[in-house]
Amino acid sequence: MKKVITYGTFDLFHWGHLEMLRRARELGDHLTVAVSTDDFTEQDKHKQCACSYAERAAIVGAIRYVDCVIPEAKWEQKPNDVREHNIDIFVIGDDWEGTFDELLGGLCQVVYLPRTPDISTSGIKHSLSRTPAPAPHSTT
């Protein structure tokens, strides 16, 4: 059995997230997804999530391509996760190209997948922040 792992915040789950998980799963028989915890996201990634860790982990865990969800609490946990979960392939978006080669190269294969064009959580948040809220519906 070939085991794959990927990491992410997965806030405002969208098509790009789904495509990443689908393509990651195609590389193996079992997909573990590490979802960033709230503290890690806020303190280390300096991001504010719209959804809590529990909500994001539940959404990711409900995806048919995902076999296991674990928390990502710190940057440095990746080598331990690879060893603990007997991972063969580490997958991440190509915006991280080269970042994990040295850290994980001796432990597993490292694959950088192209991002899905024209979609990102940051872009969605930016778009939403510029769009006025719709007027409430009248109940009369």
DSSP element (H, E) containing 72 = strand 68-72
CB contact at 8 A, 17 and 122:
no
Domain membership of residue 92 (yes or no) is yes
Find, among 61, 78, 66, the residue nearest to 29 by Cα.
Answer: 66
Domain membership of residue 136 (yes or no) is no
pLDDT in tens, the chain (140 residues): 999 999 999 998 988 999 999 999 999 999 999 999 999 999 988 888 989 999 999 999 999 999 999 999 999 999 999 999 999 999 999 989 999 999 998 999 999 999 876 655 555 555 556 655 555 554 44
Q: What is the pLDDT of residue 133?
A: 52
Distance CA 91, CA 139 (A): 49
Domain membership of residue 75 (yes or no) is yes
Domain membership of residue 130 (yes or no) is no
CATH code: domain of residue 75: 3.40.50.620
3-state secondary structure of 116: coil
Residue 135 CB contacts under 8 Å (≥ 6 apart), including other chains? none
Q: How many domains does the chain have?
A: 1
| Active-site residue set | 45, 47
